[in-house]
Structure 1
């Protein structure tokens, strides 16, 4: 059996171990993808920290992390019919079985038997030279000709998550005010996408460098949450009474609460960020004000792979540029430095591994 390099979780919060292990082989309905690029995401940080036990998703030692891959199919199972060796593909992070009621209705991102890539033992992740993708016909997304794996790596999680939230879950219209709280990888993607959808975007963060990047990607106004006496009040002043749509792109109590409080009457809050050990899945909200203003609280998870073509059409015309959110390319041996940096929110945009 062939060998490959992989970054493996040994203990929560401790450096991943870079090892040579056996490469995967496809099961009858699966495919093996040679990973050409994989983003390093804050969700990987959550898995590395041992978060999400309250969701039944505490990553266990021995797991290969990594859930934003793009690459080339190198082997397919005997029952695979629409995927072939040599296909250039992206791999969604929330893998479905293709057969449950949610998948049959087109909502495979909320599959009843969802397998979060790189977080549970049956689906080892993409911080590796190769990975196995179950139910390949259903889960693999063919990439358009001419795009690079590095440019497409972020589509696996942050970019398409923001797109699904803004384009499918919320009612973003041209001229709407959209505030984005936390402009890391998913937040910067949201800024760029909301701008492409015709919204006026307000970016909120503690880091002036990230806020400057948000302006480059389309934000018309920024708020430094560390300098602001009242973040919600500043957003409301800019947005003439309140944002129409607001996103918590981080998942801590402060960003979630500021996002909700930033909204005007009939506003929509998008919860994209998942919480940390501090919140453990529960955040206090101003429910009476939400009732009085008829505010909607909307959860949004990933994106069904059947709708990726919507992004690809916008990429083809230059209206969306996922590559602009990629901040740097790194080697597999650098992944521990990036995870450490995320502890203090020191990464900007999307770092992508392209050397394994």
Structure 2
């Protein structure tokens, strides 16, 4: 099979021929149809963010496909089943996994990081990572459910606890941020989308944002407070930057909640007195636990969450480096590698 293999930072991925893996007990082999191209993969290449599996490693954690073969003990899937694969899974045995929070398991398995991923014609995974995809959800675009939609869904619904009528600010309108906009809107919130790029703000409006703010042209917290009469109930920071984290914190009204979705490896400081005096909350959000995927897939199938408008560019496996270039230039919401041209 062909695979795009990561050998280390500041190197292009290499397209190589590899043996097709065989599924062991509890595992399935999936013929990959498509795989979303995520910014975290670019961080391995450009910034040297380490992978748990020492390179060489096949990247790609946002796939859809068709089950090719099942290993011993697998009864929930059969060859021919259409599936998406979750980006992460837990050990299934620890306290967090047993309480339904596999996404924060200390022994988390990350597709395309701790195990070989789906920038390949086939991928082998635990059957626990697979979720059935209805026929009316296309494989080409449905792949982005695996991360670009599931991650903001968990953030918006479970961690930020957005409800109908809430005032919500989303800071950062990349793929995850734009999906946070459309998911919060679908739940009945009044959403303010914030970014530096006018094209991204236009996309946010098309996905339901009631207001948009260009962060390069104004004082963001002041503008948000002016628009809302005192601040938002919930702010989601989807970038991972100390300045935007402070901006998000400054957008909150008394009793408000900051949900940190963007990854930032360093430290940042906030005014603790404001946290205490205004009874603010700060919560983190990481990935998505498995029990939330069926509802997400139903919302996509019912048209409450859109996938097709989110995929702006399509590339072949051999064009993976072109996909990263498009991402770096900010031309795409989400690019997808179409690995099986028949889908």
TM-score range, shorter chain: over 0.9
- 1:141 is paired with a residue whose SS is strand
Q: Per-residue CA shift, 1:287-324, capped at 9, x if unaligned? A: 22222221111111111222212123322332211222
**TM norm structure 1:** 0.91
- 1:34 is paired with a residue whose SS is strand
- 2:106 is paired with a residue whose SS is coil
Q: Distance in 2 between matches of 1:340 and 1:260?
A: 32
Q: Is 1:184 matched up with 2:174?
A: yes
Q: Distance in 2 between matches of 1:355 and 1:115?
A: 23
Structure 1 residue aligned with 2:95: 101
- 2:57 is paired with a residue whose SS is coil
Question: 1:210, 1:348 within 8 Å by CA — same for their partners in 2?
Answer: no
Structure 1 residue aligned with 2:316: 331
Structure 2 residue aligned with 1:200: 190
Q: Is 1:266 matched up with 2:255?
A: yes
Question: 1:47, 1:119 within 8 Å by CA — same for their partners in 2?
Answer: no
Structure 2 residue aligned with 1:118: 112
Question: 2:315, 2:323 within 8 Å by CA — same for their partners in 1?
Answer: no
Q: Is 1:281 matched up with 2:281?
A: no
Q: Distance in 1 between matches of 2:53 and 2:255?
A: 38
Q: Is 1:351 matched up with 2:324?
A: no
Counterpart pick for 2:71 among 55, 77, 94: 77
1:212-227 equivalences under 5 Å are 212-227=202-217
**TM norm structure 2:** 0.94
Q: Distance in 2 between matches of 1:24 and 1:234?
A: 54
Q: Distance in 1 between matches of 2:10 and 2:165?
A: 43
Q: Distance in 2 between matches of 1:51 and 1:283?
A: 21
1:23-172 equivalences under 5 Å are 23-52=20-49, 57=51, 60-120=54-114, 123-134=115-126, 136=127, 138-172=128-162
Counterpart pick for 2:291 among 306, 321, 325: 306
State the Cα distance separating 1:141 from its structure 2 match: 0.8
Q: Distance in 2 between matches of 1:127 and 1:184?
A: 21
Question: 1:50, 1:58 within 8 Å by CA — same for their partners in 2?
Answer: no
Structure 2 residue aligned with 1:21: 18
Q: Distance in 1 between matches of 2:275 and 2:326?
A: 36
Q: Distance in 2 between matches of 1:37 and 1:269?
A: 34
Question: 1:96, 1:139 within 8 Å by CA — same for their partners in 2?
Answer: no
Question: 2:9, 2:48 within 8 Å by CA — same for their partners in 1?
Answer: no
Question: 1:65, 1:124 within 8 Å by CA — same for their partners in 2?
Answer: yes
1:286–1:338 Cα change, 3 Å? farther
Q: Distance in 1 between matches of 2:309 and 2:84?
A: 18
1:142–1:262 Cα change, 3 Å? same
Q: Is 1:235 matched up with 2:224?
A: yes
Q: Distance in 2 between matches of 1:243 and 1:105?
A: 31
Q: Distance in 1 between matches of 2:316 and 2:303?
A: 28
Structure 1 unaligned regions, length at least 5: none
Question: 1:35, 1:72 within 8 Å by CA — same for their partners in 2?
Answer: yes
1:290–1:317 Cα change, 3 Å? same
Number of residue pairs matched? 340
Q: Distance in 2 between matches of 1:316 and 1:156?
A: 14
Q: Is 1:318 matched up with 2:303?
A: yes
